[in-house]
Amino acid sequence: MKYLNLILLLICFNAYGQDWITDKDFDSKINERKAFGDDQTLPVVVEFWASFNDANKFVDWDKLKNVIYYRADISQCPIIKKKYKVRMVPTLIIFKEGIKEEMFKAGLDLMLPASLSEIQEVVNEINTASKF
């Protein structure tokens, strides 16, 4: 019975777990081609994260609509961190077809200054703009 509970716990954790991205798979992930109706692709949101600031991570990632969401541990992504000039965590970057569209950076207080609704609004604008 102990093992059954452990297996169920692991299945539930994996079903709701966060997808991670590294230097190795970054380019393929931000260029993912998951359809969003009429052959439109979904924007990809990448959160740059660090264990020392786990308390301030973006917790509403599962509430974002019409996006693909990944988290990148800055210790596992030194090349990408440098390429996109990520100096504070959390930092969210929104990509559309591999192109950086928007960036939200934490302030000196290490807190993300954008709310879920602000981020969703930007995602909606990117999705609307790509329809034309």
Query: Tell me: the pLDDT tens digits for 22-76?
Result: 999 999 999 876 655 555 789 999 999 999 999 999 999 999 999 999 999 999 9
Identify the helix (H) or strand (E) that includes residue 73.
strand 68-73
Confidence of residue 1 (pLDDT cuts 50, 70, 90): low
Kindly report the pTM of this predicted structure: 0.82
Q: Is the confidence at residue 79, as pLDDT, over 80? A: yes
Amino acid residing at 71: R
Residue 9 tokens, joined: 């716990």
Contact 68, 43 (CB under 8 A): yes
